[in-house]
Amino acid sequence: MVLLAATAPGIARAERGAGGAWRVEHLRPDLRVQALTLDPGDRGTVWAGVRDGGAWRSRDRGRTWAPAGLAGVSVKALAVDPGDPDVVVAGIKPAGVWRTEDGGASWRELVGFRAVRRWWWWSPADPPGLVPYVSGIGIAPGDPEVLVAGIEFGGVLRSEDGGRSWSGHRRAADRDCHDLRFHARDGAWVYEAGGGGPAVSRDGGRSWRHPLRGLAGRYTMACAADPARPEVWYVSAAPLLDWRAPWRMPLAHADGHARAGIYRASEGGRWERLTGGLPQPLDHMPYALVTHPERPGEVVAGLAHGQVWHSGDHGDSWRRLPIDLGGVRRALLWA
């Protein structure tokens, strides 16, 4: 097992050897890594998005890294086409989408994305004050022409022509997107974790539902889905604010005070808080949830302060892995 986490700056790499012992390395402290994604066809190839540093790539499960274009650009999200490893899309700050079809040798901006101006209270061409950015992006397995992109404090948009043109915000998706992903195998399912709660689509991102029943907090940060059962999915959630507290930020970002939990939904039912060994509540936010496409039932959670928890039974029971990644900030991969 190899786990990679964006620790901002740098990447933490944890590998379990044949004897069960773990080795943790902290790599590339010179890079402010903001996103990590795997090549679905070759899990040894990993892409990273770097603040003001463009796209980077590793071909050896995160041991070594090399630049792969977009130098000087702040890359916040990445996705690799499941059917063609040379096709990669990148979501950037300020909000925009770029695409390569030659593995990063050259990139072009999908200018149709910036042309969409039906987004809430700002224009992507001239954002006032705050600088919106693409926080999640995905390419549909089985149909590479279908893309979804989520903007933090913006909306969720969809393209049916490979990114040349885009819809406006999809109704009932959450406008404050934190995490967005297609199911690993079934392109009909798309999942979102947002600041106003989770959302799910069962038609490739055309229409969405915003299920909230059972959540103790609506501020969700991460989502993941079981590889064999797309109706089983997970989110991490925390209350938005506690006005009695001295801080004025979402509790998810108040390390030591997050009051967070991990939840599971299945068959369209209400959310179920997962306990089974997890601390209740979690004082540090699970910024990342990840499943493995070849291991149904397994899910891994990476917490803000570096702990990693693993379940092998769809979240019914959990154990803490004997590693400390030093911090998990928005991205964790199981390579």
Q: Is 261 exposed, middle or buried (0-12, 13-18, 19+ CB in 10 A)?
A: buried
pLDDT beyond 60 at 119: no
Q: What is the pTM of this model?
A: 0.94
- Model pLDDT, residue 244: 54
Q: Which residue has the higher pLDDT, 20 or 28?
A: 28
Does residue 245 have a pLDDT over 60?
A: no
DSSP string of 216-238? S--EEEEEEE-SS-TT-EEEEEE
Q: What's the mean per-residue pLDDT of the chain?
A: 92
Q: Quick one: average pLDDT of 168-177?
A: 93
Confidence class for position 253, pLDDT limits 50, 70, 90: confident
DSSP character for 209?
B
At 24, which amino acid appears? Answer: V
- pLDDT of residue 256 exceeding 90, the answer is no
Note whether 270 and 276 are within 8 A (CB).
no
Burial of 310: CB neighbours in 10 Å, binned 0-12, 13-18, 19+: middle
Domain span at residue 60?
2-334
Number of independent structural domains in the chain: 1
- What separation in angstroms does the CA of 198 have from each of 121, 233, 312? 21, 10, 23
Whose structure tokens read 């899309």?
89
Residue 256's closest CA among 264, 265, 266, 246?
Answer: 246
Q: Is the dihedral of CA 243, 212, 296, 162 positive or negative?
A: negative
What's residue 335's pLDDT?
Answer: 86
**What pLDDT does residue 249 have?**
67
User: In this model, does residue 124 exceed pLDDT 90?
Assistant: no
Condensed to tens digits (0 to 9), the pLDDT of residues 40-93 reads: 988 899 999 999 999 999 999 999 999 999 999 999 999 999 999 999 999 999
In this structure, are residues 186 and 233 in contact, taking their beta carbons and an 8 Å threshold?
no
Q: Alpha-carbon distance 223 to 308, whole Å?
A: 16
**CATH code of residue 229:** 2.130.10.10
Residue 254 pLDDT? 83
